[in-house]
Amino acid sequence: SQKIEQNSEALNIQEGKTATLTCNYTNYSPAYLQWYRQDPGRGPVFLLLIRENEKEKRKERLKVTFDTTLKQSLFHITASQPADSATYLCALREYGNKLVFGAGTILRVKS
Amino acid sequence: DADVTQTPRNRITKTGKRIMLECSQTKGHDRMYWYRQDPGLGLRLIYYSFDVKDINKGEISDGYSVSRQAQAKFSLSLESAIPNQTALYFCATSDEPGSTDTQYFGPGTRLTVL
């Protein structure tokens, strides 16, 4: 069966450290993968997109990697801040299909 | 003003009642979606529409119906609400898939069915 797996346990890190979140998938051949941020009581907000032929994408303190052999994407936040605390969702899309979301990982950055 | 708005933001109703959730967008996108979010299950697609004359079922359409009244408006109805439809509901829009198909979400409607 097709699955998108994100760590269900919250990730707790200290301010200033790098947070790394994982998105693994099974039985998908994604054309691209997206990462969203969701704050409590709000809708998800798009952060970054990476295509199947790209290895890495950066935006300010954010970095996404995509390994189609390992079927995994890693999402990094460098120099993390308490304001980065949120739930982070990965989503992938196969050609001709709809975007499919993972359940998300809660990130807590402590000062 | 927000690009994607949803009304109501919170609703408590009883089993068997008909409920309508409304979504409006000012982004000018043709594509609109309805998702529900449950703890531990992520966002699941209920219905989607690629234009006013196009309506498609998603992963979990049973018990729901939709209406696309205009490019900017997409409503979700629960004809006879049941308790397991208690969830957070999100409307979203997206641009053409040839670009990124990035989803723009509304603020959500928290629905409780007693």
pLDDT digits (tens, 9 = 90+) for B33-92: 999 999 888 899 999 999 999 999 999 999 999 999 999 999 999 999 999 999 999 999
pLDDT digits (tens, 9 = 90+) for A7-45: 889 999 999 999 999 999 999 988 899 999 999 989 999
pLDDT at A1: 81
Residue type, position B65, single letter: S
Per-residue confidence at B102, pLDDT binned at 50, 70, 90? Answer: confident
Helix or strand or coil: residue B3? coil
Min distance A90 CA to chain B CA atoms (Å): 10
Helix or strand or coil: residue A84? helix
Rounded Cα gap, residues B92 and B83, in angstroms: 24
Per-residue confidence at A97, pLDDT binned at 50, 70, 90? Answer: confident
Which residues make beta-bridge pairs with A65?
Answer: A56, A74
Average pLDDT for A48-74: 95
Helix or strand or coil: residue A68? coil
Give A4-38 as a DSSP string.
Answer: EEE--SPEEEETTSPEEEEEEEES---SEEEEEEE
Contacts of B93 in chain A (CB under 8 A): none
Q: Do B4 and A98 touch (CB under 8 A)?
A: no
Q: Does position B101 have pLDDT exceeding 80, yes or no?
A: no
